[in-house]
A and B are shown apart, each in its own frame.
Chain A
Amino acid sequence: MPKRIFSLHVDMDDFLPASAEDKAYMVKMRPSSTFFRDGLKRLRKNKVALVSFWIIVIVTLSAILLPLFWPYAYDTMLGITPGKPVDASYNNLKPFTYGYTEQMRIKEGEHIFPHVFGTDAQGRDYFIRVVYGTRISLAVGFFASLIVLVIGLTIGSVAGYCGGVVDLIIMRIVDIIYSLPDTLMVILLAAVLKQSSLEKLIEGTVLAKIGSNIISLFIVFAILYWVSMSRLIRGQILSLREQEYVLAARAGGAGGGWIITKHLLPNCISVVIISTALQIPNAIFTESYLSFLGLGVNAPMPSLGSLASDALNGISSYPYRLVIPAVVISLIVLSLNLFGDGLRDAFDPKLNG
């Protein structure tokens, strides 16, 4: 049917059933891919990141699961039995050797679980102490990063979204905290919080179980380390809030909180995840550093830093006691860093080009 130009007449040819050829043309060559799936694919190709990921998984799982069935506890001094004199043969055992009473029992045909890394100067099984130390270090790293994330996210998004005077004031505070020498301030705060009456304050709560020193570590992180995270978020929000869809949302009557949580934050989520992942090794680093200086976890709880610091006393006779936590720390920090780098390469849209 000939069609006159400018005619509003419906072209009936458009409503003919599609031929087999037309249908084949419409078939998708591959299923559509989301941003997340794309990133995951890139991550899987990155061998270094993958290996680091599995190392982190193995270390984390063994730190959580091993203490469940390990026959020794991290704070049991094996040489001490109630009502008997201290059996010094349990102190400073070399790896795979046994204390005096254990040797007696082995002679009687009993099977004794070996002390894989020996025992420390107070007769505590060293392997389980390293496992516990790893657990503490990982937990501190993880939760400290979580705290940093929550505070940084809140303040950064408020500063970025509100702009104006609020932004100005927040960013000047950020500038000052950012230019403070962080480690010195951390040492100062940790030293003071250690002396303060924090212990009485948290008595009877769940927090008491964690120990005042770790709580003070968290406080220190909460005070000092949120600044770089909030700077990052602010920058992201600043560029995102000028986008048209935010204007559309506002025109639709959406409030500030709604726009931040529903529109702005989801769009900078990859940047947030990456920098949180890179914050964890940082926190582990700081924790072990403070523990090494004696400002970390409460004794007898071990952390990798305090284990290394304790090992310095017997370094000439038992160097392996220092090497073991040293290797574990370096392994954790290195693999977390490499995995974080891999995440950044896979998920940072700016680098995709």
Chain B
Amino acid sequence: MNTKTLIYIFKRILLAILTVWVVITVTFFVMRAVPGGPFMGEKAISEAAQAALEAKYGLDKPLMEQYTTYLKDVVFHLDFGPSLKQRGREVMDIIIDGMRTSAKLGLIAAAIALVTGIVLGAVAALRRNRLIDKIIMVITTAFVSMPSFIMGSLLLILFAIKLMVLPANGSTAAGLVLPIITLSLSPMAYITRLTRSSMLDVLGQEYIRAARAKGVSPIRIIFGHALKNSLIPVITYFGPMLAYIVTGSLVVEQIFAVPGIGRAFVNSITGRDYPMIMGTTIVLAVLIVVMNLVSDILYKVVDPRINLE
């Protein structure tokens, strides 16, 4: 690794930290800008009770003091404060609870998307302009432009209501099959297209011709020479894929009633549970920013020729 790469990595990390700080700050001030504050909208409470509640949650202090306290709590203690709606529970505990299910969901979906996407992409590239390539391209084009909530709803109708082979409720293990498929289809389609185009690119390179001229078998050329290099662009998709899965899980968990972080987030929005909204936004945002960072750095390290600036 040369100094240029190190400087790039350093810059990239700095940007990521700055982004996280912006996320926390924006979230904090946007939430404080909501008229009425967190205790409005429910049944009318007396002035004294309102003041007592505000004192309890520290809302009576000056805004900047609240901000610095919040920043300190979040950064040093990972503490987002107590939830306003689920009495007696810390936001962090609810997030960790939800993450257990959501992480399982997301990781399996990502793994499926990667494996099937790469295989289908390679097949499409090797059978370029044949029937199978065309079928794969048509299907992936359709999947890429289909919103996750549409995909989820259609799968729900087809498999849970019409065919009745899979449960519609995602609170059991079997019930996670449909949400996982829903979340994996669009990234899979994207990875397929990515792999296909980069595979075609690699197959046109000189060293592949050299290998073929040397008499290397086609199978060895594909798996030993072409595949590894054509997977480099896929690395750049790790970050966007995680972002897609996170945002997709918000609606997918809603559709299939999965008890995960996405559903908790959406419920906290409709329930105006401000600490919960802030906490979840920050945790998910940090997750996405870190993943983007990792995939950018990995991309640079794997292929130092790439100039990212």
A residues sitting closer than 8 Å to B (CB atoms) are 175-176, 179-181, 183-185, 187-189, 191-192, 195-197, 281, 285, 288-289, 292-295, 305, 308-309, 311-312, 315-316, 319, 322-323, 326, 329-330, 333-334, 337-338
Which of B21-29, B102-110, B209-217 binds A? Answer: B21-29
Q: Are B147 and A293 in contact (CB under 8 A)?
A: no
A183 neighbours in B (Cβ, 8 Å): 243, 247
B15 neighbours in A (Cβ, 8 Å): 175-176, 179
Q: Are B33 and A192 in contact (CB under 8 A)?
A: yes
Shortest distance from the beta carbon of B258 to any chain A beta carbon, whole Å: 14
Q: Are A181 and B142 in contact (CB under 8 A)?
A: no
Would you give 16 A-B contacts (Cβ < 8 Å), ordered by A?
A180-B19, A181-B247, A188-B26, A195-B35, A195-B36, A196-B34, A197-B35, A292-B149, A293-B266, A308-B149, A312-B153, A322-B157, A329-B150, A333-B147, A334-B141, A334-B145
Q: Are B142 and A179 in contact (CB under 8 A)?
A: no
Shortest distance from the beta carbon of A311 to any chain B beta carbon, whole Å: 8
With contacts A184-B281, A185-B26, A292-B149 known, is A176 near B18, CB below 8 A?
yes
Q: Are A308 and B150 in contact (CB under 8 A)?
A: yes
Most B CB contacts (10 A, CB to CB) among A175, A181, A305 go to A181
Q: Is B154 an interface residue (CB 8 A)?
A: yes
* Cα–Cα, bound, A323→B246 (Å): 24
Q: Are B147 and A192 in contact (CB under 8 A)?
A: no
A195 neighbours in B (Cβ, 8 Å): 34-36, 272
* Cα–Cα, bound, A187→B16 (Å): 21
A180 neighbours in B (Cβ, 8 Å): 19, 22-23, 285
Shortest distance from the beta carbon of B163 to any chain A beta carbon, whole Å: 12
Q: Is B203 an interface residue (CB 8 A)?
A: no
User: Chain A residue with minimal CB distance to B33?
Assistant: A192
A329 neighbours in B (Cβ, 8 Å): 147, 150
* Cα–Cα, bound, A184→B280 (Å): 10
Q: Are A338 and B153 in contact (CB under 8 A)?
A: no
Sample of 12 further A-B pairs with CB below 8 A, known A333-B145, A334-B146: A176-B22, A179-B289, A179-B292, A181-B247, A184-B246, A188-B277, A289-B149, A293-B251, A293-B269, A319-B161, A326-B150, A337-B145
Q: Are B30 and A323 in contact (CB under 8 A)?
A: no
Q: Which of B212-264 contact A (CB under 8 A)?
A: 243, 246-247, 250-251, 254-255
User: Chain B residue with minimal CB distance to A185?
Assistant: B26
Q: When A and B form their complex, what is the total count of cross-chain residue pairs whose Cβ atoms lie within 8 Å? A: 119
Q: Are B141 and A338 in contact (CB under 8 A)?
A: yes
Partner of B27, one of A188, A305, A330: A188
User: Chain B residue with minimal CB distance to A317?
Assistant: B161
Interface readout for B157-177 with A: 1 if CB under 8 Å, 0 if not? 100011000000000000000
Q: Are A315 and B161 in contact (CB under 8 A)?
A: yes
B250 neighbours in A (Cβ, 8 Å): 187, 293
B157 neighbours in A (Cβ, 8 Å): 315, 319, 322-323
Shortest distance from the beta carbon of B140 to any chain A beta carbon, whole Å: 12
Q: Are A191 and B150 in contact (CB under 8 A)?
A: no
Q: Are A181 and B35 in contact (CB under 8 A)?
A: no
Q: Are B161 and A184 in contact (CB under 8 A)?
A: no
B285 neighbours in A (Cβ, 8 Å): 180-181, 184-185
Shortest distance from the beta carbon of B185 to any chain A beta carbon, whole Å: 13
Shortest distance from the beta carbon of A182 to any chain B beta carbon, whole Å: 8
Q: Is B95 an interface residue (CB 8 A)?
A: no
Shortest distance from the beta carbon of B285 to any chain A beta carbon, whole Å: 5
B18 neighbours in A (Cβ, 8 Å): 176
User: Chain B residue with minimal CB distance to A332?
Assistant: B145
* Cα–Cα, bound, A308→B151 (Å): 11
Most B CB contacts (10 A, CB to CB) among A189, A281, A315, A338 go to A315
Partner of B142, one of A309, A315, A330: A330
* Cα–Cα, bound, A189→B27 (Å): 9
Q: Which of B42-86 contact A (CB under 8 A)?
A: none
* Cα–Cα, bound, A175→B266 (Å): 28
A312 neighbours in B (Cβ, 8 Å): 153, 255
Q: Is B288 an interface residue (CB 8 A)?
A: yes
Q: Are B289 and A326 in contact (CB under 8 A)?
A: no
Q: Is B31 an interface residue (CB 8 A)?
A: yes
A316 neighbours in B (Cβ, 8 Å): 161
* Cα–Cα, bound, A315→B254 (Å): 14
B255 neighbours in A (Cβ, 8 Å): 312
User: Chain A residue with minimal CB distance to B272?
Assistant: A195
Partner of A192, one of B23, B30, B150, B247: B30
